[in-house]
Chain A
């Protein structure tokens, strides 16, 4: 290396010597304080005929915390409070059901019923669609006031990565699988209080369902210390349950 190169190299190094220096820092990053409050989820696991599914396992997907349903299908699960929860219910010969993300206030108890369908029933649902790797989504429509109706409304799925198979818009339309009415808690055939979709792209947690034509309560909404954020995710091979609330 020539002298001039050495000098140039030295100058470059000298000019870079301050590179590791810190410029004025306005703040430092912080780790938020995460509380340890707990809440409770209770409920029942049952098949579309209302029969209890004894021995079903109800699991908080993210943490793996779980409980086993007793002979009446009842379960009690201690969960972290104010934390997004997706519960899965699994049982032998049944397709998994995902109860979509919700948050329970500290110290509160949320009561949920989780339907599960047989693996064969699930296969028959998937067979109706063009995307066998997609998931099945069932939407319960609930009136917060108790007097509202979803009749005449339109359920849309955003992003539109699935196919609505039955929705309130289709007044008078026969459900391609009437048993789905029994899958959605509180729904009755012809009551137009439920919808379902097939072939929904798995793992898209920014999905939203919207109800048009009737007054929908905008998410996130809170009922009995439980908050629904409004977006949801889908698993291939699982039945996903989502609730929309009307005024």
Chain B
């Protein structure tokens, strides 16, 4: 009798796992088709209008939006692993698919692989490497290695588990025969070009609808928080060159990317664990002056609330896991 129960349980578990795998495979297939449709691979890598069209379609791609976990993990693949815990970045899902994913075009010869309880969608990609400099989320060319990683990327691996997509990885494999535009980094994360703040895609103007009633409030709260963080050196580490060598980095130097960290900033200032003890300044962890900490916490909460409201209006404010 007992063995019958055990067998039944095993059979039920196997059936559930099989159903989950089927569901994840179907989800992968639907996402693959949507990516190819939204961002076909036959456009010029310099065509910013095509990129913007792709960004708009990805932003409003219901299946992708619903599957993406919050925060969304993105980075370069380490070895052959599909783990998302090392050398990655944390992003708001809308920010990632609008700003980052749209820098790629997708081929139709994708494959779907089941690895244990993980479904991996392998999407062949072409990088839009010849756009104007302000069209990239940040100057990827601040490091030759980073710029190469985007330009020569052949595949993006989308990781799907239990009906959700927690992250994606640029394949470690590179095709160095692909074209690559040379850029010289000016040393600036932000700059102006002909009077326009750059990168223009990192601004709320690019992320949010023109009629979003919370956009101005969000921008003001970000600017205030960013200024409030400077005396505490937050941006020295929370920038693309990752001077603090974080495994899951959040950027605070750009308005859009900072949205991914809006809850963490509040909690970590509350716990007084940032800046970390072992930072480059060799200071104790946290902010010693309670009034300074309270001020930063107030600014962080303002930004958090404004971010929640602005994203909720767009239908993009998910519960953070």
Contact = CB atoms under 8 A, between A and B. Distances in A.
**B partners with A:** yes
A13 B57 CA distance: 21
Contacts of B29: 13, 16
Q: Interface size bucket, B side?
A: 35 or more
Contacts of B243: 201, 204
Contact of B187 (A26, A29, A235): A235
Interface string A17-36: 11111111111111110111
Contacts of B185: 62
A32 B30 contact: no
Nearest to A83: B193
A159 B235 contact: yes
Nearest to B37: A20
A90 B241 CA distance: 26
Interface centre among B29, B63, B280 (most CB of A within 10 A): B63
Given A16-B30, A19-B64, A22-B62, 13 more contacts: A9-B22, A16-B29, A19-B30, A22-B60, A25-B59, A29-B52, A35-B195, A63-B184, A86-B186, A159-B230, A159-B233, A161-B233, A206-B253
Contacts of B192: 82-84, 103, 229
B186 A84 contact: yes
A64 interface: yes
A8 interface: yes
A158 interface: yes
Interface of A: 5, 8-9, 12-13, 16-32, 34-37, 61-64, 80-84, 86, 101, 103, 158-161, 201-206, 208, 229, 231, 233-235
Contact of B184 (A25, A61, A103, A205): A61
Contact of B55 (A18, A29, A158, A160): A29
Contacts of B206: 29-30
Contacts, number: 169
A37 B235 CA distance: 32
Contacts of B205: 30
A80 B194 CA distance: 7
Interface of B: 18-19, 22-23, 26-27, 29-31, 33-34, 37-38, 48-49, 52-53, 55-57, 59-66, 98, 132-135, 142, 184-196, 200-201, 205-206, 209-212, 230-231, 233, 235-236, 239, 241, 243, 253, 280-281, 314-315
Contacts of A161: 233, 236, 280-281
B61 A22 contact: yes
A200 B61 CA distance: 45
A26 B314 contact: yes
Contact of A32 (B19, B60, B191, B196): B196
Contacts of B194: 34-37, 80-83
A61 B186 CA distance: 6
Given A13-B29, A84-B188, A20 B196 contact: no
A208 B206 CA distance: 27
Contacts of A158: 230-231, 233
B235 A29 contact: no
A86 B185 CA distance: 11
A233 B186 contact: yes
Given A5-B22, A161-B280, A201-B280, A62 B63 contact: no
Contacts of A8: 19, 22
A63 B200 CA distance: 18
Given A86-B187, A160-B281, A161-B236, A31 B135 contact: yes
Nearest to B200: A32
Given A31-B49, A159-B230, A206-B236, A23 B193 contact: no
A40 to B, nearest CB: 16
A103 B192 CA distance: 8
Contact of B26 (A16, A27, A203): A16
Nearest to A208: B230
A234 to B, nearest CB: 7
21 contacts: A8-B19, A8-B22, A9-B22, A13-B26, A19-B31, A22-B57, A22-B61, A26-B314, A29-B201, A31-B52, A31-B200, A34-B132, A35-B194, A62-B184, A84-B191, A159-B281, A161-B280, A203-B241, A206-B253, A208-B230, A229-B192
Contact of A5 (B18, B52, B56): B18
Contacts of B211: 26-27
A22 B279 CA distance: 45
Contacts of B31: 19
A12 B156 CA distance: 24
A101 B188 contact: yes
B195 A82 contact: yes
B79 to A, nearest CB: 28
Given A28-B52, A84-B191, A84-B192, A19 B184 contact: no
